[in-house]
Structure 1
Amino acid sequence: MVKAVTSPNNTFALTIDPDSIAVISKKPTTTHGPMTTRRPTTAQVHSTDGPTSTSQVSPTHGPTTSPPPVVILSATLEEPFVEEFNDVNSEQYKALETQVVTTCDIIYRARFGFIFIRTYVIQIIRAVVITRMDNTRVDVGLEFVDTASTPQDDLIVSTLQETLGQPNNTFNISIAQNSVQVLQSPHKANSTTPKPASTTKKAALTPLQLTIRTLRFTSVGETFISDLLNQSSVAFIARALMMKTTLEPFYSSAFSSFNSLRVTSFSNGSIINNMNLRFISGSVPNNTAIGQVLIDAAPNITAFNVDVTSIFVNGMQVSSGASHKTSIITASCLALLSWLLSSQH
């Protein structure tokens, strides 16, 4: 060691005082008899002043931390179930997972602050409902700091219902209000004594029946980027939120039966915007009226472009009255010009 560190050609990146180098020896332990495995809870303590005594010695462990309590929450999304949701590695599964986790994190952190830790998706499955279209059920785990601070089940349910039930909420996700329920929680596990029935009658929650109308229009002159194909991308989320917050006030003021708007996709062709509009069933406006709201609002929209000749509601094109009149005037002018030219010959 001394020779190595004192050599002028050594390549060590440190300097050692040769006089400080010493070997510290330790007396080897002598083992008498065969080696045996000693139980961790009992040790033999030998005393030179008296007979051998046996004492209990507790094993030493590192600090232990209990896993955070989890509330398992289930809800049915107004999202058509696709077979790709059966594959946790699919783009569709990952996109919806990100959307659900982001939404729940924002909602519960805003409501419960530091006592809420995080959300994670447990499963995405087909909802068992009798409708013409299968919706999607999502079960999530909500982690809290400790059992004592974990909110009551009904508060967790109502927080999600009330936030997503607001017509002007900025989340690009919709749920069936009566589908939200707590499947498991610390309160359910620890509750052994049934609570007495409340003497106060609560109003029955009537499921809100909604009807969906699809809306599609083109933003001419805007550049499409591939990130808009990915629902979990920053570009998609930002544009979807911008369109939701811009268009919902127009529909809310036009129709009392309007519930919410949800952007579903973007496609290439400048930018083609696709979305679902939800109305209370039994009071759904016709396709022309829905399209006319967008036509009337277009001159006042500066966040994005609306080509009023490209508006489709439920697959039916809704023409702009202004564009239609312009076309008639243009056609009349062309006919007059043609007549004048022909009369000169």
Structure 2
Amino acid sequence: MALPTWIWALTLTILSAQLISADNSTMTAPPSNSTSNQTSAPAAIQTTGSAANQTSAQTTIQTTPSAASTSTVQSTTSSAPQIIPNIVFTTNENFTTDLLNSSSAAFQNRSIKIKQLEPFIRSAFPSFNSLTLVSCSSGSIVHNTSAAFGANVTVPNITSIYSVISNAAKNLTATLPITFVNGIAVNSAGTARTSLLAAPCLVVMSLLAWQ
């Protein structure tokens, strides 16, 4: 029995609708993959940025110890000389008021004149550098000086320096006639001598010892 014409037409319409629906689903699939690729791309960029930050942090850590090491070396470096001040001796020469002025020609000449003591002090103490005139005062000529020694060395005490100056006096009687070293009189032989005031005291002490 033959089917009516309208049945065949309905069947064809249903089949056409199914084919169109299948084509539409196939065409919309690629955009979904494209969106997925775009989403994963920023993740790769973020990872790269993190690696750059790690590299920067490592660079900072490596340079910090180097700066600290430089600071330590500088703080331990020292070349300042060691100074022994107030080394006082007197010469039997006429005092003039221009010796009170450290800028005067007389004071400068006196500064050079006391350099005669330097070879004697250096011979006794190899670390000795120089003898400097600080000031002059009257009473013949009283010299207040200071002695400079090398850095980071053992320096002598002032008593040892006075002993060297006293011994040097016997060789300098004509050019630098030293008569007192630290208030103690010296003779031409370069040895300390007892003052006239001290001699009677020693005699009295001796008499008391016999009683």
TM norm structure 2 = 0.50
1:208 Cα deviation after fit: 2.4
- Cα deviation, 1:40-69, whole Å, max 9, x if unaligned, reads xxxxxxxxxxxxxxxxxxxxxxxxxxxxxx
Structure number with greater Rg is: 2
C-alpha separation between the residues in 2 aligned to 1:337 and 1:237?
48
1:322 Cα deviation after fit: 3.8
SS at match of 1:323: coil
C-alpha separation between the residues in 1 aligned to 2:127 and 2:184?
21
- Tell me, yes or no, if the aligned pair for 2:102 and 2:135 is still in contact at 8 Å: yes
The corresponding residue for 1:213 is 84
SS at match of 1:256: coil
- Tell me, yes or no, if the aligned pair for 1:288 and 1:318 is still in contact at 8 Å: no
The corresponding residue for 2:128 is 258
Tell me, yes or no, if structure 1 residue 323 matches structure 2 residue 192: yes
1:306 Cα deviation after fit: 1.1
1:243 Cα deviation after fit: 0.9
Structure having the larger proportion of residues in helix = 2
- Tell me, yes or no, if the aligned pair for 1:227 and 1:233 is still in contact at 8 Å: yes
C-alpha separation between the residues in 2 aligned to 1:267 and 1:326?
22
Q: 1:294 aligns with which of 165, 172, 175?
A: 165
C-alpha separation between the residues in 2 aligned to 1:209 and 1:319?
34
Amino acid at match of 1:271: I
- Tell me, yes or no, if the aligned pair for 1:291 and 1:318 is still in contact at 8 Å: no
- What value does the CA root-mean-square deviation take over the aligned residues? 3.4
User: When the two structures are aligned, how many residues end up with a matched partner?
Assistant: 126
Give the 3 Å change call, closer, same or farther, for CA 277–299 of structure 1 in structure 2. same
1:283 Cα deviation after fit: 1.2
Amino acid at match of 2:149: F
Instruction: Kindly report which structure 2 residues correspond to 1:1-345, keeping only aligned pairs within 5 A, or say none.
Output: 207-214=78-85, 215-220=87-92, 222-244=93-115, 246-280=116-150, 281-301=152-172, 302-308=174-180, 311-312=181-182, 322-323=191-192, 330-331=199-200, 334-335=203-204
Amino acid at match of 1:298: A
Percentage of matched positions with identical amino acids: 36
SS at match of 1:248: helix
Give the 3 Å change call, closer, same or farther, for CA 326–265 of structure 1 in structure 2. closer
Structure having the larger proportion of residues in strand = 1
- Tell me, yes or no, if the aligned pair for 2:100 and 2:136 is still in contact at 8 Å: yes
C-alpha separation between the residues in 1 aligned to 2:204 and 2:155?
42
C-alpha separation between the residues in 2 aligned to 1:330 and 1:224?
29
C-alpha separation between the residues in 1 aligned to 2:143 and 2:149?
19
Unpaired stretches in structure 1, ≥5 consecutive residues: 1-205, 340-345
